Amino acid sequence: MPVIITQIVPTPVGPLSLLARDGVLVAAGFTADPREMFVRLPPALRDLAMAEGDLADAAQAVRDYLDGKLDALDRIPVEQSGTPTRQRLYEALRAVPAGTTVSYGLLAERAGLPRTAARAAGSACAQNLIAPFVPCHRVLPSSGGYGGYYYGTHVKEWLLAHESPAPPKT
């Protein structure tokens, strides 16, 4: 019987809970309690048992990312439910490279939608269950500022600062 395996990885901005089924991440978020992520999963996944375990590849990717290998999270397979449009938005999000940001309108365009679908892009970010592997923190409002982030603006700011290219040495 399939089960949701959980592991908590420490980060400088707090614990990161990872949840996977059959080696594929189905949720990740900055919380010390994996149940907070589990209750947000689709009903079919919530019907599965949840158990602590070793998600070695995903946990190592997080450690590598924290050590400066900013593309390490990209190698981990992820899966979350959603309409075909939502899936295109999540694919476009995963394609935004570390160290760069996009606006909600540009994210919509990259997903094959009109720029005016910025609200749909914002909704996809707000409902993203696999942060930071699906990097919704890299999307900023075109009006400026950081916008919202499910785990708090301080986490979004930290992630963006961590991914920023180092200033040139003089």
Active site residues: 136
Query: Which residue in 72, 71, 64, 127 sits closest to 100, CA to CA?
Result: 71
| Residue 49 CA to its chain's centroid (Å) | 23
Helix (H) or strand (E) segment spanning residue 89: helix 84-94
What is the number of other CB atoms lying within 10 angstroms of the CB of residue 115? 14
Strand bridging mode 49-52 / 3-9: parallel
73 φ, ψ (degrees, to nearest 5): -70, -25
| Contacts for 76 with CB less than 8 Å, ≥ 6 apart | 25, 57, 58, 61, 133
Residues in the chain: 170
Asked if 118 contacts 104 with a C-beta cutoff of 8 angstroms, the reply is: yes
